């Protein structure tokens, strides 16, 4: 098991390499963005890339956290961060 | 940027059991094959590969079968591209052009024939509180156990709820991962005579079923058969879950609800539906059959759809499990190559086996009849469309005012126009239409639009430019 460091909303987080990013995010809180009209908290739902509820920004590009794997140095920004 | 281009005789979409078998069969016949999958590794749902060394799932027969299938396809000469999501497909002279998001870059694949083996997804039925964070699909919980560290990250108790044989498979994953499961809530009480009858006809499956039952008990979960989750409760995340027993008429008895407190995860699954976005985009005909998971792509025994040189395999053709998916992939891949003039394979044996495997799946499905909608009242302000925050009341109004088709509900309310393109809200919209007495055939399904999956605009532009060049080439 290789431990790596990633960045989430500017904070450094140490975790295992290759994990679904959702696992790391959810160990903080189960939501990391807001719904468009109601501003309700949302996080992973389908877990397989089809609902887009888990959206984040990884290294500057829109991504689905449930399909991302943790890799050293990746920079993650969530909707709850100060984007 | 211009899109990277690849061409082949047969493109296979999906590297699950069906897609990998199709890729092997077509490549073995001599066709050049490209097999595309959105996930990071081949295997699909059944043969999902762990990411962590020493995972409790590393040596399961399903995981090993996926590695074998991928190796076989590669050895036969098929090129397998993972992290490659098809976001559009269109006919071009001499075949098809598939537009692919390959890890952020555009790829255009030109193929003389296409086999769609896009598999299945959960059929998410809305219930009060279902959009609270911490309420996730049963499949999402399983994927996390199988591909993650093996422990669910949320604190608090875990409730697994819904209906159908897949819930037992998820409970089994909890047992294998050694992850505690606190409550198991199954809507049905499958009849013992029905179960006995099914296993008398398919004695080879008895062992598998006994193991599922044993593993469910092994999780230590409190089991609530004949119960349904009536509400997920919480402010910014799920905190409690209310369940109720179903009475003789199949409705929850709200005078006997129980509240499960300190819940961190509610994993819910009410069965599967075929993934048909690409086959609908390509204009193939689809049929409705509740026993097959609802709308599925129409195909003959070879997997030929209603569009020439477009084939389908696996659960895109209807829910049936990994065994028939693999067999149907082998048949469709071979048939797709044969139609292009490559030598045909003898498929008498897989055809016989696929019939038997499908009969078992149909028998199991009959024991767990999947609800079209849950026997719960959805408050008017509960959401059906998560992408655009559209409420049950908005959808009921649209239906009352004459929107009697999924497409009409979509144009009226925008449910289905968001990034999920109706993959998630489609089941909720169909349930609302069914409640209003509109038959599934009339309600129809959400036809996909470009792009099938959200992609950065420059990618769409690059891929469409490649597609246009293929279309207009002399
Ligand atoms: C969430 C879930 C969990 C399941 N877990 C189990 C289990 O534990 N045990 C079991 O026996 N059965 C399980 N099943 C049932 C399972 O679907 C079948 O047994 C089997 O995996 C079906 O094989 P398939 O090849 O038809 O589809 P799948 O295995 O689903 O493979 C389809 C593949 O197509 C890919 N795909 C789809 N659309 C695109 C696209 N546009 N671009 C690129 N790639 C695409 C997907 O990424 C996927 O890898 C599960 C099903 C689901 C939906
Ligand atoms: S959780 Fe549905 S796309 Fe990631």
- Contact list in A for residue B104 (CB cut-off 8 A) is 61
> What number is the average pLDDT over the span B8-21?
98
Q: Work out the percent of chain A whose per-residue pLDDT is above 90.
A: 89
Strands B84-92 and B95-102: antiparallel
Q: How confident is the model at residue B211 (pLDDT cuts 50, 70, 90)?
A: confident
In sequence order, the 6+-apart residues with CB closer than 8 A to the CB of B20 are B35, B42, B43, B44, B66, B69, B70, B72, B73, B80, B326, B329
Domain boundaries, chain B: 4-121+273-366, 126-269, 383-438
Cα(B85) to centroid of ligand 2, in Å?
14
Count of A-B CB contacts under 8 Å: 119
A20 within a domain of the structure (yes/no): yes
B237 and A30: CB-CB below 8 Å?
Answer: yes
Q: How confident is the model at residue A81 (pLDDT cuts 50, 70, 90)?
A: low
- Contact list in A for residue B148 (CB cut-off 8 A) is 19-20, 23
Asked if the B126-269 domain carries CATH number 3.20.20.70, the reply is no
ipTM over 0.85: yes
pTM of the predicted model as reported, rounded to 2 decimal places: 0.96
B137 and A47: CB-CB below 8 Å?
Answer: yes
B237 and A22: CB-CB below 8 Å?
Answer: no
Please count the structural domains in chain A: 1
For the four alpha carbons of B38, B42, B48 and B50, in that order, the dihedral sign comes to negative
- Given CB atoms, is A30 within the 8 Å cutoff of chain B? yes
Q: Whose CA is nearest to atom 8 of ligand 1?
A: B46
Residue to substitute in A35, A53, A69, A79 for testing ligand 2 pocket (most ligand atoms within 8 angstroms of CB): A53
A21 within a domain of the structure (yes/no): yes
A59 within a domain of the structure (yes/no): yes
Q: How confident is the model at residue B371 (pLDDT cuts 50, 70, 90)?
A: confident
Instruction: Tell me whether the CATH fold assigned to B4-121+273-366 matches the one assigned to B126-269.
Output: yes
Indicate whether A83 pLDDT > 70. no
A83 within a domain of the structure (yes/no): no
Amino acid B135: pLDDT: 98
User: In B433-446, which positions are buried (b, 16+ CB within 10 angstroms) versus exposed (e)?
Assistant: beeeebebeebbbb
Amino acid A82: pLDDT: 42
Closest ligand 2 atom, CA of B424?
2
Closest ligand 1 atom, CA of B322?
19
Tell me the shortest Cα–Cα distance from B367 to chain A, in angstroms: 25
What's the domain range around A44?
A: 3-77
B133 and A1: CB-CB below 8 Å?
Answer: no
A64 within a domain of the structure (yes/no): yes
Asked whether the beta carbons of B58 and B108 are under 8 A apart, the reply is no
CATH superfamily ID and name for B4-121+273-366: FAD/NAD(P)-binding domain (3.50.50.60)
Residue to substitute in B15, B20, B44 for testing ligand 1 pocket (most ligand atoms within 8 angstroms of CB): B44
Candidate from B140, B154, B418 with C-beta closest to A46 = B140
B140 and A23: CB-CB below 8 Å?
Answer: no
Ligand nearest to the CA of B139: 1
| pLDDT tens figures, B276-329 | 999 999 999 999 998 899 999 999 999 999 999 999 999 999 999 999 999 999
> What number is the average pLDDT over the span A20-34?
96
| Closest chain A CA to residue B55 | A1
| pLDDT tens figures, B61-108 | 999 999 999 999 999 999 999 999 999 999 999 999 999 999 999 999
A36 within a domain of the structure (yes/no): yes
Q: Work out the percent of chain B whose per-residue pLDDT is above 90.
A: 83
CATH number at residue A49: 3.10.20.30
B263 forms bridges with which residues in the sheet?
A: B157
Tokens of A13: 């987080």
Amino acid B366: pLDDT: 81
């Amino acid at each position: 098991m290789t431990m790596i460091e990633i960045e989430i909303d500017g904070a450094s987080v140490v975790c295992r390499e290759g994990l679904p990013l959702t696992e790391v995010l959810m160990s903080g809180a189960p939501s990391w963005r807001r719904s468009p009209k109601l501003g309700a908290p949302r996080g992973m739902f389908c877990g397989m890339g089809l609902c887009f509820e888990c959206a984040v920004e990884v290294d500057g590009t829109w991504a689905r956290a449930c399909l991302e794997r943790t890799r050293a140095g990746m920079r993650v920004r969530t909707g709850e961060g100060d984007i | 940027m211009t899109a990277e281009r690849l061409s082949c005789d047969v493109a296979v979409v999906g590297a699950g059991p069906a897609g990998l078998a199709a890729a092997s069969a077509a490549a073995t016949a001599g066709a050049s094959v490209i097999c595309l999958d959105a996930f990071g590794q081949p295997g699909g749902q059944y043969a999902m590969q762990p990411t962590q060394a020493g995972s409790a799932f590393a040596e399961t027969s399903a995981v090993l079968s996926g590695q074998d299938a991928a190796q076989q396809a590669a050895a036969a000469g098929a090129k397998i591209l993972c992290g490659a999501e098809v976001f559009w497909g269109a006919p071009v002279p001499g075949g098809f052009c598939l537009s692919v998001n390959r890890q952020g870059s555009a790829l255009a694949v030109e193929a003389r024939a296409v086999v769609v083996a896009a598999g299945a997804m959960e059929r998410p039925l809305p219930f009060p509180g279902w959009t609270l964070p911490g309420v996730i699909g049963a499949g999402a919980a399983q994927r996390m156990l199988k591909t993650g560290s093996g422990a669910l990250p949320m604190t608090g108790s875990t409730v697994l709820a819904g209906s159908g044989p897949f819930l037992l498979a998820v409970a089994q994953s909890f047992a294998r991962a050694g992850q505690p499961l606190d409550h198991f809530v199954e809507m049905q009480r499958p009849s013992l005579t029905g179960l006995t009858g099914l296993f008398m006809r398919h004695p080879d499956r008895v062992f598998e079923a006994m193991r599922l039952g044993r593993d469910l008990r092994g999780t230590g979960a409190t089991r609530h058969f004949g119960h349904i989750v009536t509400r997920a409760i919480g402010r910014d995340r799920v905190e409690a879950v209310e369940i109720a027993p179903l009475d003789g008429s199949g409705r929850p008895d709200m005078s006997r609800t129980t509240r499960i407190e300190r819940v961190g995860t509610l994993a819910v699954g009410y069965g599967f539906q075929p993934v048909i976005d690409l086959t609908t985009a390509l204009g193939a005909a689809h049929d409705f059959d509740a026993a097959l998971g609802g709308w599925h792509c129409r195909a003959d025994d070879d997997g030929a759809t209603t569009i020439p040189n477009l084939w389908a395999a696996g659960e895109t053709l209807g829910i049936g499990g990994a065994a028939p998916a693999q067999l149907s992939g082998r048949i469709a891949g071979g048939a797709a190559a044969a139609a292009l003039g490559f030598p045909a394979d003898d498929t008498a044996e897989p055809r016989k086996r696929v019939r038997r495997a499908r009969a078992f799946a149909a028998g199991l499905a009959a024991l767990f009849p999947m609800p079209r909608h849950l026997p719960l009242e959805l408050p008017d302000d509960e959401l059906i469309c998560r992408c655009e925050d559209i409420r049950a009341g908005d959808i009921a109004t649209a239906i009352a005012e004459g929107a009697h088709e999924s497409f009409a509900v979509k144009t009226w309310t925008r449910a289905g126009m968001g990034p999920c393109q109706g993959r998630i809200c489609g089941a909720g919209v169909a349930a609302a239409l069914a409640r209003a007495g509109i038959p599934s055939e009339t309600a129809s399904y959400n036809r996909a639009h470009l792009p099938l999956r959200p992609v950065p605009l420059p990618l769409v532009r690059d891929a469409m430019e490649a597609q246009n060049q293929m279309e207009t080439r002399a």
